[in-house]
Every structure is written in C-alpha cells, then in structure tokens.
Amino acid sequence: MDIYGRRYESRMMLGTALYPSPAVMRAAVSASGAALVTVSLRREQARPGGGSPGFWSEIRELGADFLPNTAGCHSAREAVTTARMGRELLGTDLVKLEVIGHADTLQPDVFALVEAARILSDEGFHVLPYTTEDLVVAERLVEAGCRVLMPWASPIGSGLGLNNRYGLRSLRAHFPDTTLIVDAGLGRPSHAAEAMELGYDGVLLNTAVASAGDPVAMARAFRLAVEAGRLGFEAGAMEPRDMAAPSSPVFGRAVLA
C-alpha cells in the first residue's frame, strides 16, 4: 500500500481508541499487523503537560507509524488547527482529515473538507481525507492535493458494512491511480474482505476491533480477511452469472437410451 510515496506491507490501519486497557490495545495492534495507527487529538493534549503521559508512552511503543486524526472537528478552521498541533506533537506530515457535518450520522462536511484539505496540502501536509463515495467530491479533493482518499463504507461505529457497493466500485474505477482506503462502518471481517475484493488498497477500522469480546482475536481475523480479499482481487475473482454453469465437463458422458 502506497501512502504518499511510502510503501507499507500491511493494508490494514487501526485506531487506538475504546480499548478496555492499554495492554489490550498493544496486543490488538500487534495481532493486526497494522503499519499505521490513528491517534485522535484535542487541543488540551497539545499543550505542555497536556494529555496522559501514559497514553503517549503506550502509543510510541507500538512500533507503527502515527496517523494523527482530526476526529470531532466541525469546521475547516478547527480541523486545520488540530492538524498543525498533530504535526508538532508527533513529528509527522501525515494527517487523517475529518470535518464532521452531521451529528447523527457523523457524515463529513464535504465543503469544509475540501477547504481544509487545500490549506493543509499547501502547507506540506500529506492529507488522508475521510469522505463519502461521491465522485465529484473525490475530484475536488484530488485537485486540492490529496493523493489518498478514504471513503466511508457506512457511518462511523455503525458496523453496517458496505452500504453503497456501486458507489465504492465506481470510485475505484474513476481513480485507478489514487490510493483508496475504506474507512468507517466495517463491523465484520467479511466486510473488510468485500472492500478489498473491490480493489481497494486498504481499510481503516477501530470500533469493530476495540469493542469486540476479544479484541486481539478480532484484530487477527480482520488481518486475515484483508489479506484474503486482496489475494482474491489480484487473482481475478469470477463475476456473478444470471444462470447456472456446470463445473463438471459434459463431453464423454455416458448417454443412456
């Protein structure tokens, strides 16, 4: 998986929130094989002495690259400010850009998203925008400088899976050279495999793993599903047919009068 010129062997990205303990979080990240972990930021965390020292210590010991996240931001200005703090705090130009526009669905405000993406790209950030599967919005984000797009499967934390398979397939077809990562709404390993079978480059998830009865086992299950889905895509999975087609040869079969 290519993220702004950097290659990652793993096609899975994992969030660091909601786990029952830091130890479980560490074990889940390890089991997932994730090369990138998301870290949500708040203003108070960026101040000297802000945030939990224990939390930052745990994060730095994960052995994965950081992806600061502007989760919870509701305006372009707020998201840009949070991204700048993330770069200062974690020393990375990567940022997962979220600008929430709807309180119930957590659907992104795509207008503010494009605005913030353009500002941050101009400042040298490597922006990974959380967006919808809308093709026009995707074009605007690419024009703003984004080389990675992160369309949702369904609302954050819903576990509904791929709500608009057609839209996601169309996005993949329209942007063959852009890294596409399905973000939000994946609830089961099969959802991740389905996304990868569409030709997506990776998936990002948090709630499905962190809230599972056994987060470590679920992280491993998603890891295997991502690998299986990608292999299926690369192998050339068969397209569905309207009619049955025999899998056994009929030539040479005995004919009884």
Catalytic residue IDs: 96
Asked whether residue 185 is marked as a ligand-binding residue, the answer is: yes
- In angstroms, the CA 219 to CA 60 distance is 19
Q: Are strands 179-183 and 202-205 parallel, antiparallel or unpaired?
A: parallel
Asked whether residue 184 is marked as a ligand-binding residue, the answer is: yes
Cβ(131)–Cβ(157) below 8 Å: no
Asked whether residue 207 is marked as a ligand-binding residue, the answer is: yes
Asked whether residue 228 is marked as a ligand-binding residue, the answer is: no
- In angstroms, the CA 137 to CA 124 distance is 21
- What are the CA-CA distances from residue 78 to residues 43, 97, 221, 255 (Å)? 10, 11, 36, 76
Mark residue 159 as left, alpha or beta (left: phi above 0; alpha: psi -120 to 50; beta: remaining): left
Q: At what angle do helices 110-122 and 135-143 cross, to 10 degrees?
A: 20
What per-residue string of b and e applies to 212-222 under the rule 16 or more CB within 10 Å gives b? beebbebbbbb
Question: What residues form the annotated binding site for 1-deoxy-D-xylulose 5-phosphate?
Answer: 157, 184-185, 206-207
